[in-house]
């Protein structure tokens, strides 16, 4: 046992594992982020409350049952760094970590008890090839590992790759994304309470466009959950 511990210490000395959030090497080998970053995660209470910020943003735009975001997103924060690594640096482990966190929180929420299946908001194939995966699908994998729900990856597809939404207002974002999604298999959605999952909600334009397409299927109800909210 002492030899194994010594070997692990040497391994950490030459190849230190660092926190994905702050870069500190004060981290257990089994952990993704350090205790300090974990304690500072800006977790919302949206899953437990009606008319939360995410729900208010989407109200009146399409028919949904519940909506929530797990974290608050702010520029320059640990969350921004973690999500950037997840989306653009092929850190799938970060997505699985947060997906499991989301799944655990959803499990504790009475408002989301009747979810039957998960639908990740799709990426255009070209963008998915560039990133090597759809980040929403990775979040769904983490959620599913906690809730044991099916993931319907092919329920809806994205047929056009919109240009960057970063500097656009709500109307411009909607015009940029409208008509980008196509329902593929309405029958697999029939009678189900679907949870549409995405990483970050800002204006809600992309979620709205995808939701409108999903609602063409004979689903029982639609709810929304994002990893984070970054409303302007």
Strand partners for 182: 157
- Residue 30's domain comprises 10-40
Backbone angles phi, psi at 115, to 5 degrees: -65, 130
Number of domains in the chain: 2
Q: What is the pLDDT of residue 1?
A: 47
Higher pLDDT, 13 or 72: 72
Q: What is the pLDDT of residue 15?
A: 54
Higher pLDDT, 54 or 162: 54
Higher pLDDT, 210 or 16: 210
94 and 192 together in one domain: yes
Q: What is the pLDDT of residue 56?
A: 97
CA atoms of 193 and 219, how far apart (whole Å)? 7
Is the per-residue pLDDT at 10 higher than 50? no
126 and 194 together in one domain: yes
CATH number of the domain that 109 lies in?
Answer: 3.40.50.2020
20 and 50 together in one domain: no
* 116 falls within a domain: yes
Closest listed residue to residue 228, CA positions, set 108, 10, 69:
69
Is the per-residue pLDDT at 174 higher than 50? yes
Distances (CA, A) of 99 to 96, 141, 176, 177, 213: 5, 7, 28, 25, 24
- pTM score of the predicted model: 0.88
Q: Is 113:52 a contact under the CB 8 Å cutoff?
A: no
Which tokens go with 132?
């090597």
29 and 131 together in one domain: no
Closest listed residue to residue 31, CA positions, set 94, 107, 109:
94
pLDDT-above-70 percentage for the chain? 85
Q: pLDDT tens digit string along 26-35?
A: 777 778 999 9
21 and 120 together in one domain: no
* 25 falls within a domain: yes
* 4 falls within a domain: no
Once rounded to an integer, what is the mean pLDDT over residues 172-177?
63
192 and 207 together in one domain: yes
């Amino acid at each position: 046992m002492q030899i194994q511990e010594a070997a692990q210490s040497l391994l950490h000395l030459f190849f230190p594992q660092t926190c994905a959030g702050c870069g500190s090497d004060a981290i257990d080998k089994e952990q993704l982020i350090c205790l300090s970053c974990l304690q500072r995660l800006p977790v919302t209470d949206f899953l437990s409350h009606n008319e939360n910020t995410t729900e208010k943003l989407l109200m009146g735009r399409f028919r949904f049952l519940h909506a929530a975001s797990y974290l608050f997103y702010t520029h320059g924060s640990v969350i921004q760094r973690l999500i950037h690594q997840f989306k653009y640096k092929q850190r799938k482990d970060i997505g699985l970590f947060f997906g499991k966190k989301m799944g655990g929180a959803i499990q504790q929420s009475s408002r989301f008890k009747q979810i039957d299946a998960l639908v990740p908001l799709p990426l255009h194939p070209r963008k998915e090839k560039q990133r090597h995966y759809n980040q929403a699908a990775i979040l769904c994998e983490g959620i599913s590992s906690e809730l044991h729900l099916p993931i319907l990856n092919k329920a809806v597809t994205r047929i056009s790759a919109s240009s960057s939404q970063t500097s656009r207002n709500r109307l411009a974002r909607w015009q940029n994304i409208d008509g980008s999604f196509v329902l593929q298999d309405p029958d697999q959605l029939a009678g189900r309470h679907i949870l549409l999952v995405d990483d970050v909600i800002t204006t809600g334009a992309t979620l709205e466009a995808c939701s409108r397409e999903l609602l063409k299927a004979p689903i029982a109800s639609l709810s929304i959950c994002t990893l984070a909210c970054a409303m302007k």
